[in-house]
Amino acid sequence: MVRSLKINMNRNIRLFGIFKVFTKRAFLPLTTIYASQVGGLTVAELGVVAASASIVGLMFETVTGYWADKNGRRHSARIGAALALIGTLFYVFFANFPGILIATVVLTIGYSFLSGSMEALMHDSLVVLKREGDYAKVASRAQSLALIINAGIVALVPLLYPIDKRLPFIVGAVAYGILYYLATLVTEPPRLVTKTRKQTLQHALRSVVTRH
């Protein structure tokens, strides 16, 4: 049983680097251009979309963090990836103001679920392996890998846009599908140190209230 747990925790750490690659939104630089050219959004409508994303992000960041603590980081990552996939498909199939507004809001909620979930899962995996001191090294290596690979992807995305303006978002949807699959492969580490749910929620709320 102990050997099996160690194998699963080591697999979590290996998957973390790959997971980080697919969390990057390669199509992000094109969303405003796409919304304007394809969706026909006005400057005012673009402002509504941006403001909605900011408000929703602020509202859900705390709630999803508490939910992940309560129900597990693996489940949080799966929900986040699924919502990101759904949001991206709205860009592809509903390129108008309501569709792009929904796409942006759903993506924002998805990234609230994704935010920190795999980092926390990876940290807990290292704790189980008694390697918590390696967290910074593992995290920086994964981030470097993600940035290098995504630099190439971002360079290719503008080449896809002239062929079909939906192609960058289709590629993004495929990436989120892979992200969901990766989230199903990880194993939730046992909780070695826990807080009460009330304490965890209070701490999360205080972090938002005092954030600058």
What confidence tens digit (pLDDT) does each residue in 188-208 have? Answer: 888 754 443 444 444 444 444
Token pair for residue 57? 């992000």
pLDDT tens by residue, 76-113: 889 999 999 999 999 999 989 999 999 999 999 998 88
Give the pLDDT of residue 192: 57
Mean pLDDT, residues 156-173? 87
The residue among 171 and 212 whose pLDDT is bigger is: 171
pLDDT(33) > 60: yes
Buried b (16+ CB within 10 A) or exposed e, 164-185: ebbbbbbbbbebbbebbebbee
CA dist 20 → 132, 145, 149, 159, 211 (Å): 19, 8, 10, 23, 25
Mean pLDDT, residues 131-155? 80
Give the pLDDT of residue 147: 80
Please tell me the distance from the alpha carbon of residue 83 to that of residue 89, in angstroms, as a whole number. Answer: 10
pLDDT(158) > 60: yes
Give the pLDDT of residue 210: 40
Instruction: Report the share of the chain in percent with pLDDT over 90.
Output: 29
pLDDT(14) > 50: yes
Mean pLDDT, residues 45-56? 92
